[in-house]
Amino acid sequence: MEVQSVVLKRTFDLYKEEYEKAALRALNSGWYILGKEMEDFERKFAAYMGAKHCVALNSGTDALILAFRAIGIKPGDEVIVPAGTYIASVIGVTENGGTPVFVDMDDHMEIDAGAIESKITDRTKAILPVHLFGQCSRMDKITEIAQKHNLILIEDCAQCHGSSFKGKLAGTFGNIGCFSFYPTKPLGALGDAGAIITDDDKLAEKIRLLRNYGSKVKYHNEINGVNSRMDEVQAAVLKVGLAHLNEGNIERRHQAQMYMEGIKNPKVIIPPVYEEVYHVYHLFPILVEDRDGLQKYLVDNHIKTQVHYPIPPYVAECYREWGYKWSDFPNAERFAKQEVSLPIYAGLPDEEVQYVIGVINRW
């Protein structure tokens, strides 16, 4: 048996006819940018999230960049971010001239909410929790800290469409929730796409201006903007994905439960999940000290895995002037050097999950 880390064609094939119908509808409309498909997706995603506004964009990275631009982050401002995350989270801050202030991770592989307050200074303007792997962060504590210190709260929800904390959806705790619809995400496009949600009328309006060259009316540019518009084809196929999002989340939760119940190898650690969280398992991370040995063994047994994320942003080459050492954030370092993501996605057969479990248990 051969098991791939992810097979997007299988996920596509689950709803192939619906995707094809949606794409052809958009193509046959003759209108491909800022049209009815995008507006309808914005309405439907806002309704799903229980948010007042959704602004569709061309990527999750742009969602972060424009969110921080909309709240006025500038050189000298500090934003608290997790030390172990994908670099796009930090790019959202640095592209606006802000300074990321890193906080180590907790045992759940999320930002350590208990360590945030010690990093707040008179230059801190915002907190960016990143809901990693499909698990919502400890938003009760983080929201309390943000309110106590009058800080703006931006949520990076790139991996957690449908995840919740105490019944409240990730992305709805803060001022802005930022989403990626990269194809592998729980809600994935057939290319790059992203969005923000917010209940703030002014922030929504500003991000709508920013995404379209700072313009509401063609050639009337009110502010300095960019080009970050979701195209009509992506909006059309995302509506199909949104209609089946909960089904996909349930399927991945089933696969995750199989892993949690089936993996018995004492060399393999499965990070704990917050009791208050509905986890949607965009990824299924495990921790092993001999990562190279496990991955080679799995490849020898025709199983492909991935690593998220082997170089945390605080030691990324592009940010070397910051002068951080790996050891400055021990948990982030450990996760970066030990994490392996097992296959998990909508359309993955149970027998392949069982095969992976059996191979790991024999390692």
The CATH number of 245-362 is 3.90.1150.10
Please choose, from the candidates 189, 185, 308, 302, the residue with its C-alpha nearest in 3D space to the C-alpha of residue 249.
185
**d(Cα 133, Cα 244) in Å, to the nearest integer?**
19
pLDDT of the residue at 101: 98
What phi and psi values does residue 257 have, to the nearest 5 degrees?
A: -65, -40
pLDDT of the residue at 148: 98
Give pLDDT tens digits for 100-152. Answer: 999 999 999 999 999 999 999 999 999 999 999 999 999 999 999 999 999 99
Please choose, from the candidates 356, 322, 308, the residue with its C-alpha nearest in 3D space to the C-alpha of residue 130.
308
pLDDT of the residue at 157: 98
pLDDT of the residue at 8: 97
DSSP assignment string, 289-344: S-HHHHHHHHHHTTB--B-S-SS-GGG-GGGGGG---GGGSHHHHHHHHHEEEEP-
pLDDT of the residue at 105: 98
pLDDT of the residue at 158: 98
pLDDT of the residue at 84: 98
Regions in the chain scoring below 70 on pLDDT: none
Give pLDDT tens digits for 49-58. Answer: 999 999 999 9
pLDDT of the residue at 361: 98
Strands 124-127 and 78-82: parallel
Residue 345's contacts (CB-CB under 8 Å, 6 or more residues apart) are 6, 7, 8, 10, 11, 184, 252
Q: Where in the chain is the domain with CATH 3.40.640.10?
A: 8-243
Tokens, residue 322:
């910051």
pLDDT of the residue at 177: 98
Q: Is 318 exposed, middle or buried (0-12, 13-18, 19+ CB in 10 A)?
A: exposed
Buried b / exposed e along 279-311 (16+ C-beta atoms within 10 A) = bbbbbbbbbbeebeebbeebeebebebbebbee
CATH fold for the domain made of 8-243: Aspartate Aminotransferase; domain 2 (3.40.640)
**d(Cα 218, Cα 212) in Å, to the nearest integer?**
9
- Radius of gyration for the chain, computed over Cα atoms and rounded to the nearest angstrom: 20
Q: Where in the chain is the domain with CATH 3.90.1150.10?
A: 245-362
